[in-house]
């Protein structure tokens, strides 16, 4: 079988079938016949990384060390060939490797190197945005400590690990200087990401009593929801991972976040629309989240449960009638509105999107939604009664549009 077909099958096992062990075996077979195959080395390393993070039997330092050595050998081969695009590609895989290990200083170093060597990929702006957030948090955390030393260049090892050892373990070091000669830029063997106009990843979220709905806005969408790998760590129930192959480029999209509260790892609903991915997560506890992402800088107040928020809301309601300014001559006491769930279910006046958010909401959330929607003339929708109850909700028309008063 031609090597291109072998590489394609192994790549499909890794990113389409989400079977890193199967991919690892296929890359082992390829490397037995072609020990210097750059893509086999790089994606065998990726297979080991996915096994490390996804399977307890592989969750050991040797798996990561073997992955590092495979990348180190791939770097030595690309430098020997003098191909800047391949060197940049390997540096980018180093970036992904250290980013997943949460070594953001090293990840930043390799991101810079990959860009220095001209590596282009449609997912780079997304990666850069995620990295900048992590570095910002790290900088704030280390503001009173000494700067972290830079990661040393990849080191040698006796084996490349996994089911069989790689042949020819001669490994070069990572040269940070661009090559002086600018050789012709051939395509990588097999599948190589194609350059596109950069598009920054944008996220948004809202919540109901029982769920968190997270939207990822990106032009780099998967072919279908079946092509996506979305998981919540069963250990802490907060670590959310999203990965899939970008159909238009062949590159891998990855997104990870540490949630502020626990969700059910077994209940994750995925929807893929024309411009976004929507993930619906089930809350372990019916709390009203103040923030989506947990971080070292998050205060106890940020992570406070909705039990406190709800009790505060009810205390406000018990203080008496509250009047709020409105564009209408009739003043509405939003805190006095009662909701009949049976009437809500039979009502067909709301559109599908509003019903979806509104369906599982508690009375406080519904008041917040109703007040924010009405007072803003339909330009804002807020689910936090604690915020909405304090003041009039100003209209906020979409960018490029002006609010008309009739």
Taking residues 206-215, what's their average pLDDT?
Answer: 89
On whether both 10 and 131 belong to a single domain, the answer is yes
pLDDT at res. 26: 93
User: Are 279 and 352 found together in one domain?
Assistant: no
CA distances from 354 to 199, 201, 230, 260, 350 (A): 29, 25, 26, 25, 6
Band of pLDDT at residue 72, cut at 50, 70 and 90: very high
Q: Do both 113 and 14 map to the same domain?
A: yes
Do the beta carbons of residue 50 and residue 152 sit within 8 Å? no
pLDDT, one tens digit per residue, over 39-61 is: 999 999 999 998 988 888 898 99
Specify the range with the lowest mean pLDDT, choosing from 122-131, 223-232, 329-338, 391-400: 329-338
| Domain match, 59 and 101 both | yes
**347, 219: one domain:** no
110 and 55 within one domain? yes
**283, 315, 335 — which closes off a domain?**
283
**What local confidence, expressed as pLDDT, does residue 94 receive?**
93
- Tell whether 20 and 116 lie within a shared domain: yes
pLDDT of residue 214: 92
251 & 310 share domain:
no
Query: Could you tell me if residue 228 is inside a domain?
Result: yes
**Residue 320 and residue 267 share a domain:** no
pLDDT for position 324? 46
Hey, how many other C-beta atoms are within 10 angstroms of the C-beta on 2? 7
Question: Which three-class secondary structure state does DSSP give residue 14?
Answer: helix
The length of the chain is 406
pLDDT, tens digit (0-9, with 9 covering 90-100), for 329-345: 455 666 555 555 444 44
Q: Say how many domains are in the chain.
A: 3
Where among 102, 126, 141 does a domain terminate? 141
Task: Return phi, psi of residue 115, to 5°.
Answer: -70, -35
Quick one: which of 215, 211, 175, 220 has its CA closest to 82?
A: 175
| Residue 313 in domain | yes
**DSSP run (H or E) holding 280:** strand 276-283
Q: Is 8 in the same domain as 102?
A: yes
Q: Provide the percentage of residues in the chain whose pLDDT is more than 70.
A: 66
pLDDT at 166 over 90: no
* Cα R_g (the chain), whole angstroms: 26
Does 24 map to a domain? yes
DSSP 85: H
> How far is it, in rounded angstroms, from Cα 250 to Cα 51?
21
Other CB atoms closer than 10 Å to residue 114's CB: what's the count? 24
Q: Does 215 fall in a domain?
A: yes
CB count in 10 Å sphere of residue 244? 25
Q: Is the pTM for the entire model greater than 0.85?
A: no
| Residue that wins the pLDDT comparison between 176 and 213 | 213
Q: How far apart are CA 162 and CA 148, in angstroms?
A: 31
Q: Based on the domain organization, do 251 and 347 belong to the same domain?
A: no
Whether 77 has a pLDDT exceeding 90, the answer reads yes
Residue ranges of alpha helices (H) inside 170-328 are 306-318
**96: in domain:** yes
Q: What is the pLDDT of residue 278?
A: 92
- Name 213's bridge partners: 206, 280
Average pLDDT, stretch 312-336?
50
- Residue 162 lies inside a defined structural domain of this protein: no
Q: What is the pLDDT of residue 32?
A: 92
3-state SS track over 116-165: HCCCCCCCHHHHHHHHHHHHHHHHHHCCCCCCCCCCCCCCCCCCCCCCCC
Q: How far apart are CA 352 and CA 358, in angstroms?
A: 10
pLDDT at position 360 is 64
Q: Which domain CATH number covers 253?
A: 2.60.40.790
**Which residues form the domain of 12?**
3-141
The structure tokens listed for 310 are 């709800």
**Within a domain: 65:** yes
Query: In degrees rounded to 5, what are phi and psi of residue 256?
Result: -140, 150
> Nearest CA to 39 among 219, 203, 193, 253?
193
β-bridge partners, 270: 279
Choice among 171-180, 270-279, 338-347, 372-381 with the minimum mean pLDDT: 171-180
Domain limit, last residue, from 92, 121, 141: 141
Give the model's pLDDT for residue 302: 56
For the residues of 39-59, what is the DSSP string, one character each?
A: HHHHHHHHHHHHHHHH-GGG-
Give the relative orientation of helices 20-33 and 38-54 as an angle to the nearest 10 degrees.
Answer: 150
CATH of the domain at 127: 1.25.40.10
* Residue 325 and residue 277 share a domain: no
Would residue 66 count as lying in a domain?
yes
Beta bridge partners of 282: 211
């Amino acid at each position: 079988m031609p090597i291109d077909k072998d590489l394609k099958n192994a790549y499909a096992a890794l990113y389409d079938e989400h079977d890193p062990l199967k991919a690892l075996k296929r890359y082992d077979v390829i490397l037995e016949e072609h020990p210097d195959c750059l893509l086999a080395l790089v994606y065998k390393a990726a297979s080991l990384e996915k096994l490390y993070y996804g399977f307890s039997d592989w969750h050991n330092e040797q798996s990561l060390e073997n992955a590092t050595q495979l990348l180190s050998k791939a770097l030595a081969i690309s430098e020997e060939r003098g191909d800047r695009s391949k060197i940049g590609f390997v540096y980018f895989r180093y970036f992904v490797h250290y980013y997943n290990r949460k070594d953001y200083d090293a990840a930043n170093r390799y991101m810079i190197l990959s860009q220095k060597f001209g590596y282009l990929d449609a997912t780079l702006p997304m990666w850069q945005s995620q990295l900048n957030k992590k570095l910002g948090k790290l900088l704030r955390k280390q503001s009173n400590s000494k700067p972290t030393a830079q990661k040393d260049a990849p080191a040698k090892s006796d084996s490349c690990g996994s089911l069989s050892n790689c042949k020819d373990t001669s490994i070069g070091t990572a040269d940070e200087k661009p090559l002086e000669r600018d050789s012709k830029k051939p395509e990588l063997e097999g599948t190589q990401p194609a350059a596109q106009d950069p598009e920054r990843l944008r996220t948004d979220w809202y919540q109901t009593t029982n769920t968190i709905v997270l939207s990822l806005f990106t032009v780099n969408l998967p072919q279908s929801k079946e092509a996506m790998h979305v998981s919540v760590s069963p250990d802490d129930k907060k670590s959310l991972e999203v990965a899939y192959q970008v159909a238009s480029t062949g590159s891998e999209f990855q997104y990870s976040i540490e949630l502020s509260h626990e969700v059910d790892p077994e209940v994750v609903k995925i929807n893929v629309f024309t411009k976004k991915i929507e993930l619906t997560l089930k809350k372990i506890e019916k709390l009203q989240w103040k923030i989506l992402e947990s971080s070292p800088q998050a205060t106890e107040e940020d992570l406070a449960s909705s039990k406190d928020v709800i009790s505060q809301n009810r205390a406000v309601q018990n203080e008496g009638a509250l009047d709020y300014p409105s564009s209408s001559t009739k003043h509405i006491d939003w805190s006095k509105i009662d909701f009949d769930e049976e009437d809500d279910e039979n009502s067909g006046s709301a559109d599908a999107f509003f019903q979806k958010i509104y369906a599982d909401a508690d009375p406080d959330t519904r008041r917040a939604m109703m007040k924010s929607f009405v007072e803003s003339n339909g330009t804002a929708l807020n689910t936090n009664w604690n915020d909405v109850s304090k003041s009039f909700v100003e209209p906020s028309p979409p960018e490029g549009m002006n609010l008309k008063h009739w």
